[in-house]
């Protein structure tokens, strides 16, 4: 089995910079994965938010998909955020699954248009003792989870976060809020120790400001 001791971010499209900034704030220098060979020594890989159809096409064009699935089978953990959660789902309502790595059912664009983006405050005890702000932008919903998958967060009639032994799925964007809790949780899920005592990034980016302005009442 390959020795895996680094965290990567799929760097083809989507919110790569924001994830990288959060990891760097925790003292982790991520590998920005553009080619299949960069998956070799990764303990974990983040599939960022973006456009899931675009991401899967690029994964196939650059012939990364087979290596990604093999690395995952060999122990590499995967965290899908928003579009990334769609990529790893075994079932997509009204569509065919893409990578099919996690036993969840998702519905695309379940919240409406970009203007319907919003923030909310929740508590997820398994991830953090503190309340966390979540940002939803044209997000999917997890409708159901299968055997071996635990729901980390229920909101109304859907699941917003879930995990299995080898996958983490969030339909929101932890990289667009100050909290480092989810990034710390994933890194430690991958078996890497965090030494930083930071719980939040130093300041908000322009994307975080946009998410708040888009719907300031939520």
The pLDDT tens digits of the residues spanning 73-130 come to: 999 999 999 999 999 999 999 899 999 999 999 998 767 666 656 678 989 999 999 9
**Cα separation of 2 and 160, whole Å?**
32
**Cα separation of 191 and 199, whole Å?**
19
Is the Cβ–Cβ distance between 140 and 82 less than 8 Å?
A: yes
| Residue ranges of domains in the chain, CATH in brackets | 6-214 (3.40.50.880)
Q: At what angle do helices 181-189 and 16-25 cross, to 10 degrees?
A: 80
Q: Which residues are part of the catalytic machinery?
A: 82, 173, 175
Residue of 164, 206, 204, 202 whose CA lies nearest to 186: 164
| pLDDT value of residue 113 | 61
* Tokens, residue 191: 């078996």
pLDDT in tens, 9-41: 999 998 899 999 999 999 999 999 999 999 999
Alpha-carbon torsion angle 99, 162, 81, 165, nearest 10: -60
72 contacts: CB under 8 Å, gap ≥ 6:
78, 101, 166
**Cα separation of 91 and 184, whole Å?**
28
Is the Cβ–Cβ distance between 204 and 108 less than 8 Å?
A: no
pTM of the predicted protein model: 0.89
| pLDDT value of residue 116 | 57
pLDDT in tens, 151-192: 999 999 999 999 999 999 999 999 999 999 999 999 999 999
Distance of CA 134 to the CA centre of its chain: 12
- In the block, tokens 């888009």 appear at 214
Pairing of strands 167-170, 158-163: antiparallel
**Cα separation of 140 and 7, whole Å?**
25
164 contacts: CB under 8 Å, gap ≥ 6:
102, 103, 148, 149, 150
């Amino acid at each position: 089995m390959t020795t895996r001791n680094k965290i990567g971010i799929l760097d083809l499209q989507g919110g790569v910079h924001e994830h990288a900034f959060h990891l760097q704030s925790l003292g982790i220098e991520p590998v920005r994965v553009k080619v299949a060979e960069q998956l070799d020594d990764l303990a974990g890989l983040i599939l960022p938010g973006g456009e899931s159809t675009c991401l899967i096409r690029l994964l196939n064009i650059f012939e990364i998909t087979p290596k990604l699935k093999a690395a995952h089978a060999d122990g590499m953990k995967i965290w899908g955020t928003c579009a990334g959660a769609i990529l790893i789902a075994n079932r997509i309502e009204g569509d065919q699954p893409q990578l099919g790595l996690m036993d969840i059912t998702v519905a695309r664009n379940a919240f409406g248009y970009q203007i319907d983006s919003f923030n909310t405050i929740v508590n997820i005890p398994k991830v953090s003792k503190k309340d966390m702000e979540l940002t939803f932008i044209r997000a999917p919903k997890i409708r159901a989870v299968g055997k071996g998958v635990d729901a980390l967060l229920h909101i109304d009639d859907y699941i917003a976060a879930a995990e299995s032994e080898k996958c983490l799925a969030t339909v929101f964007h932890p990289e667009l809020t100050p909290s480092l809790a989810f990034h710390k949780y994933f890194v430690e899920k991958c078996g890497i120790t965090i030494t930083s005592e930071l719980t939040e990034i130093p300041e908000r980016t322009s994307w975080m400001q946009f998410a708040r302005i888009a719907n300031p009442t939520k």
